[in-house]
Amino acid sequence: MLPPQTTYPIPPQVARPETPPPALAQQQAGPEFNESFIEALAQRLVPRLMPEILYHVRAAVPPPKRDNPFGMSLALAIVSLVLMIPLVAIVLGDLMLLGIVAALIGVGVVCLAMVLINVTFNMLLFRTKS
């Protein structure tokens, strides 16, 4: 079993001295108070004003373009290479049955098909973007 917990007394509320009005305090304290007052004011106002500031910033900055033709053409080239690897492997897998000449013709057909797809896509893409 756990021993009973010790209770700690709650300290009494300490009476704070009254602070002078802000204008009088600013005259007495000098520039240090002025800087701290400005900092405190800024910390109070920033959370209230930040949503409106962000709204105006987002409205002023145009959204980024998602249809970059160079990126799309690079993506198609990468996908073509990735798809060409298994297709060439399938064609070369039949090397014993068809012979080396037929396998090389098959590899050439696969490569030519990928090149035609890429060239056609890029011609259509850049013709419509221009």
Specify if 27 maps to a domain: yes
Q: Kindly state whether residues 46 and 75 are assigned to the same domain.
A: no
Q: Kindly state whether residues 119 and 86 are assigned to the same domain.
A: yes
Q: Identify the CA nearest to 83 among candidates 113, 104, 108.
A: 113
Q: Kindly state whether residues 117 and 82 are assigned to the same domain.
A: yes
In sequence order, the 6+-apart residues with CB closer than 8 A to the CB of 129 are: 69
Provide the terminal-to-terminal Cα distance of the chain, rounded to the nearest Å: 82
Q: Kindly state whether residues 73 and 49 are assigned to the same domain.
A: no
Q: What is the pLDDT of residues 105-127, one digit of tens each?
A: 888 988 999 999 989 988 888 88
The mean-pLDDT minimum among 28-37, 42-51, 102-111, 115-124 falls in: 28-37
What pTM was estimated for this model as a whole? Answer: 0.44
Q: State the average pLDDT over residues 29-46.
A: 75
* Residue 27, number of CB atoms within 10 A of its CB: 10
d(CA 19, CA 16): 9
Owning domain of residue 42: 22-60
